[in-house]
A and B are shown apart, each in its own frame.
Chain A
Amino acid sequence: MNAFEKIKVLYIDDEQNNLNSFKATFRFDYTILIAQDTNKAFEQLKANPDIRVILCDQRMPDKTGVEFFEEACALYPAPVRILLTGYADLESVIDAINKGHIFRYIKKPWTDVDIKSAIEEGNKFYITTSMLAIKNKELQSAYDELGKFAYSVTHDMRGPLLSVIGALEISKSMDSIVEIREILDMMDAAVKKLDEFIKNMHEYYNLKRMELIFEEVDFTKVVSDVGAFFNIGGKMDKVKFSFNVVQNEVFLCDEIAIKIILNNLLSNAFKYQRRKAENKFVEVNVEVKNNEATLIVKDNGIGIEESHIPRVFDMFYRATSEETGSGFGLYNVKDALNKLNGTIDVSSVVNEGTVFKVIIPGKPNDAS
């Protein structure tokens, strides 16, 4: 919501002369909409959800202003309502104010100053209440996220710990070194899973608070840095990693956000391989053109079932029980892309592989 844009005002009066003079007087200060009867007024309200202030004459043939506001208030609660009236109607005005149907009344004949001050005050009230509604919504979604988070923490953090506790307990009565080694390996995996969860959580909070820093991004360097990290494990699992970067222009973007995106996509690509397959590969292609970077991460792994695809970017959603996953990775990718105004597409075939396509716009380069 922009507090400085022209305030949209609806004025209802059965006398055309009043409408005309009102419009003529205030059209430079506000965007004026007019209606000669209440039916027209409702049409205007329906067509213009951004009306902030409604002024209405009390004495009209089809309905009084108070009656109109009573109805309008139920259907369109957001705009601030101001009544124009003579002294004779004071009783009904007091009643309307007490019921909360009108914000203010202006006695007739009005002066420009009265109207202006009423509209300005009304607009302030409108902005405050709308802001409150927006803030409330943000707060609610933060609460929801926190609830989801707390719920997951009991599982994702407590789960591996309880596994290790259980394993320690049974290992006390084990004599065979082979068995003990086996259980140690599993404990090792459980602890690593916990560690990965904590690292992802850290990433998530960093993203939430992160101020973007725009600097020149050299994709060849970024991809080889991030790729090298996974390639060590990849070589052990016989996953071939290759990348190709075409970048002939300066690209301004936040390098950390890009690394988070690439890191998570590559981590998944290496992780969700078909264990026994031949010729396993992970491929990254980057093209920077017209100040836009297109990143394609492709693998021939286990793929994602079609029914799971719409939910893979949800927090804590996991589409497979294979391998260790925190349910944070793709959520963080999406979050980072939202910050960069980027987009992501995924196409996947089960047991054939997955392709993620990311498009990131560069910051407009002022120098050029």
Chain B
Amino acid sequence: MTQAKKLHFIIIDDSKLDCFIADKIIRNTGKCESVTTFLQATEAIEYIAKTPPHDEHTRTIVLVDIQMPVMNGFEFVEAFEKLPPSVIKHYTLYVISSSINENDIYKLQNYASVKQFLNKPLTSNTLAAILG
């Protein structure tokens, strides 16, 4: 990373508290330009599909929970992968969950767009590690 460029974040989690925690930790890094939170994955997918990239070079980091009602994390990733490549390339996906189910974690490896699985709760150390 050549640095200096600030990052945008999207948090998708049905738990308000978890969104709040992620928001706080991300803002505390001082490396973020914006944080947008969604309690419903359907709204996030709509937002990503409709919002034009901030500029050609920005990347947005997406943190998505697995177990959510209506649209869960897996369904979100599948819907995300169906978006045009020109949209997808501006995003990096991380899945974050309280799940300790091996099947869930194994299943995630099948999704090309998922960069990494993160355990809840999100901590400043974990975040620092993924931001390099």
When distances are taken between beta carbons in the complex, the residues of chain A under 8 Å from B67 are 155, 159
Q: Answer whether residue B70 sits at the interface, using C-beta atoms and an 8 A cutoff.
A: yes
Task: Let me know if A91 is at the binding interface, CB within 8 A.
Answer: no
Does A158 count as interface, using CB distance less than 8 angstroms?
Answer: yes
Q: Give the docked Cα–Cα distance between A158 and B70 (Å).
A: 20
Known: A167-B17, A186-B20, A189-B17. A162 touches B101 (CB 8 A): no
Q: What is the distance, in angstroms, from A148's C-beta to the closest C-beta of chain B?
A: 11
5 A–B contacts from the bound complex (CB under 8 Å): A154-B100, A155-B66, A166-B120, A319-B69, A320-B69
What chain B residues lie within 8 Å of A155 (beta carbons)?
A: 66-67, 97-99
What's the Cα separation between A170 and B122 when bound, in Å?
10
- B residues at A contact (CB < 8 Å): 14-18, 20-21, 24-25, 28, 39-40, 66-70, 97-101, 120-123
Q: Are B14 and A167 in contact (CB under 8 A)?
A: no
Residues of B within 8 A of A158 (CB): 98, 100
Q: Are B70 and A319 in contact (CB under 8 A)?
A: yes
Known: A155-B66, A186-B20. 5 other contacts (CB 8 A): A159-B98, A162-B98, A173-B28, A190-B17, A320-B70
**Residues of A in contact with B (beta carbons under 8 Å apart):** 151, 154-155, 158-160, 162-167, 169-170, 173, 182-183, 186-187, 189-190, 318-322, 325, 327
State the Cβ distance, A291 to closest chain B Cβ, in Å.
39
Asked if B101 and A163 sit within 8 Å, CB to CB, the answer is no
Cross-interface CB contact of B40 among A167, A186, A321, cutoff 8 Å: A321
Inter-chain contacts of B68 with A (CB < 8 A): 321
**In this complex, which of B16, B21, B120 has the most chain A Cβ atoms within 10 angstroms of its Cβ?**
B21
Give Cα A165 to B98, complex, Å: 12
Bound form: Cα–Cα A183–B20 in Å = 8
Instruction: Pick from A160, A169, A173 the residue with the most CB of B within 10 Å.
Output: A169
Closest to B24 in A: A170
